Amino acid sequence: MQRGCVFALCISSAALAADPPHAGRARNGSEFQSADVRALQSDDFANPMALWVERGEASWSRAYNGRSCAGCHGDARKSMKGVAARYPRYDAGAGEVIDLSRRINGCVVGGLGARKLEAESDELLGLEAYIALQSRGMPVNVAIDGSAHATWEAGRELYFTRIGQLNLACTNCHDASWGKTLLAETISQGQPTGWPAYRLEWQRPGSLQRRLRACFNGVRAAMPAYGSHDLVALELYLAWRARGLPMEAPAVRR
Amino acid sequence: MKRRAFLRLSTLTVAAGALPADAQEVRDIAPLIQAITHGATPEEGGIEIGLPPIAENGHSVPLTLKVASPMTQAHHVRAIHVIAERNPRPAVATFHLGPWSGRAEVATRMRLAGTQKVTVVAVLSGDRFRIARKEVVVESGACLDEGSL
Amino acid sequence: MLLGRIQVPPSVKRAAVFEVRVIVQHPMETGFRRDYEGRIIPLHIVQHLACTYGGREVFRVELGSGIAANPYFVFPVVASESGEMVVEWSDDRGESGSISAMVNVP
């Protein structure tokens, strides 16, 4: 289709200019928060995410039908080290790219025989926070080759596509305008390394998918459903874009 | 990309999402203070209010309180009241201490509905009262998602 | 049961002043927020929190929606003898929680 070809050309030329967008100046999300928020994040007791990490830690050992996460995976501090830094990833069992929360549910349903945990529930966020913590400080390292490549491309295309009533693409803010201010807020690079995170505006933790949905809402676009291909594809692209950046989950954000 | 169009649009968005904080009026907190001191006039000072001069976000602002007191059986702080004049419910919290506390200090995180003065009233043993105030500028981000879940 | 965490130093010298840190999971819903469909989210707050040390109350707070979600408090206590610090709290729906930690005063 003619429009599609021109579109693709525009996308790829913009991509070449912006991929990687910050060429050596990659900055984690915490660098764009206030001093108070950064202090809160780095205090392992005062960081509200610690409540959910503790919940996840308890869930890890809890028996369900005589089985538990610990039953297969042992000590999470060993077995989950580096795992979150490799998600999203192509999962042969699922037949597609999935993020960490979907992987957790795969285990909950398939491995424990329990009911799927709801998106944004305390239970799921707790487990995700606990597992992500085991990758803190480790570099993001996702695979985009082979079966993951098509999803990565879809995520990249979406990242550079203008959407919503405000007609903005992710790149307009997070590549072209990071470091500039909108009211009192400094625009970040949109790095995904802090999630799941405690967002002060939500007064509770949330997943990266929730934050991305909020971005869609922010440019007055319809929000993709939780677990939709659009969101996973974006997550994969963002993780690739953040490659090498140290994980900082579970973070605190305004 | 039309840069000017982008900026104009973003201003509109900000104006349209009128921050609830701006709509809050300063309330008359004198009756609250009177109720604490039973009509007595509190002495000024002797309280250190630790609040950032500029809070980036009104949802969670770190607060530390220090009242000068030897915290002995004879002379100690019994309670500390925190009042936020622009919050829809100005009475924020009341902390109860005693000689067993060793120091008259407390830390917490509070909510501030916009730029305002925070007033702290300390109740001392011997029916004495102290009062102090601190102004805090409360800012807001622009990318508010209205709690979209 | 509501979830919470408490932090005390593992060991304190007699008569020294030590800090207790407490955080409680609670939305502290103000009753002014609206959900995505525009409906008011009802008020839901912790109202009381108190700490006992060896059975005696050493800290109490009456709080409301002016305290941030997941209430966090730091307060000082004079070390007397080894004992249990118990923090209990309750909200406006009659739900309560409790956490404790041992303080060792050699």
Within-domain flag for B125: yes
Which CATH number is C16's domain given? 2.60.40.10
CA distance C46 to chain A (A): 14
Interface contact B108-C77, CB threshold 8 A: no
Omega of the bond leading into B99 within 30 degrees of 0 (cis)? no
Within-domain flag for B6: no
Give the best residue of C59, C85, C89, C92 to mutate against chain B (max B CB count within 10 A).
Answer: C59
B137 touches A: beta carbon within 8 Å: no
- Residue A154 phi/psi, 5-degree rounding, is -65, -40
Within-domain flag for B15: no
Tell me the average pLDDT across B58-67: 96
Q: Which residues contact A131 (CB under 8 A, 6 or more apart)?
A: A56, A76, A80, A83, A84, A100, A104
Give chain A's domain count.
1
Interface predicted TM-score (ipTM): 0.96
CA distance B138 to chain A (A): 10
Range of the domain at A197: 2-246
Which CATH number is B62's domain given? 2.60.40.2470
Interface contact C3-A204, CB threshold 8 A: no
Average pLDDT, chain A: 91
Q: Which pLDDT band, with edges at 50, 70 and 90, does B147 fall under?
A: low
Percent of chain B with pLDDT over 90: 74
pLDDT at A58 over 60: yes
Could you report the per-residue pLDDT of A217-235, keeping only the tens digit for each? 999 999 999 999 999 999 9
Within-domain flag for A253: no
Tell me the average pLDDT across B121-149: 89
Interface contact B111-C75, CB threshold 8 A: no
| CA C20, C24, C29, C33 torsion-angle sign | positive
Within-domain flag for B1: no
pLDDT at C70 over 50: yes
pTM score, two decimals?
Answer: 0.89
Place of tokens 């103000």: C30
Which chains are adjacent to chain C, needing at least 3 Cβ pairs under 8 Å?
A, B
CA distance A74 to chain B (A): 33
Which CATH number is A43's domain given? 1.10.760.10
Place of tokens 């009192």: A184
pLDDT for res B84:
98
Tell me the average pLDDT across A48-76: 95
pLDDT for res C1:
53
A46 touches C: beta carbon within 8 Å: yes
pLDDT for res B142:
78
pLDDT at C2 over 80: no
Under DSSP, the state recorded for B77 is E
Within-domain flag for A90: yes
Q: Strand pairing partners for C99?
A: C87
pLDDT for res C41:
93
The residue ranking higher by pLDDT, B24 or B118, is: B118
Chain C CB contacts of A55 below 8 Å: 3
Range of the domain at C31: 4-103
Chain B CB contacts of C33 below 8 Å: 147
Q: Is A72 a catalytic residue?
A: no
Q: Which pLDDT band, with edges at 50, 70 and 90, does B10 fall under?
A: very low
Within-domain flag for B4: no
Q: Residue A45: which of C3, C5, C29 has the nearest Cβ?
A: C5
pLDDT for res B6:
41
pLDDT for res A17:
40
Interface contact C28-A55, CB threshold 8 A: no
Query: What is the helix, strand, coil percentage profile of chain A, to 5?
Result: 50, 10, 45
Could you report the per-residue pLDDT of A123-153, keeping only the tens digit for each? 999 999 999 999 999 999 999 999 999 999 9
Four-CA torsion A192, A173, A213, A42, nearest 10 degrees: 40
Amino acid letter at A117? L
pLDDT at B14 over 50: no
Tell me the average pLDDT across C70-96: 97
Percent of chain C with pLDDT over 70: 98
Range of the domain at B105: 23-138
Within-domain flag for A162: yes
pLDDT for res B13:
38
Tell me the average pLDDT across A151-161: 98
pLDDT at A196 over 80: yes
pLDDT for res B50:
98
- Residue A162's Cβ-count burial label (10 Å; 0-12, 13-18, 19+) is middle
Within-domain flag for B3: no
Q: Which residues contact B83 (CB under 8 A, 6 or more apart)?
A: B29, B32, B33, B90, B91, B92, B118, B119, B120, B121
Within-domain flag for B84: yes
Give chain C's domain count.
1
B21 touches A: beta carbon within 8 Å: no
Average pLDDT, chain B: 86
pLDDT at A24 over 90: no
B87 touches C: beta carbon within 8 Å: yes
Amino acid letter at B96? H
pLDDT for res A22:
58
Q: Which pLDDT band, with edges at 50, 70 and 90, does B59 fall under?
A: very high
Q: Residue C58: which of B92, B100, B109 has the nearest Cβ?
A: B100
CA distance C22 to chain A (A): 8
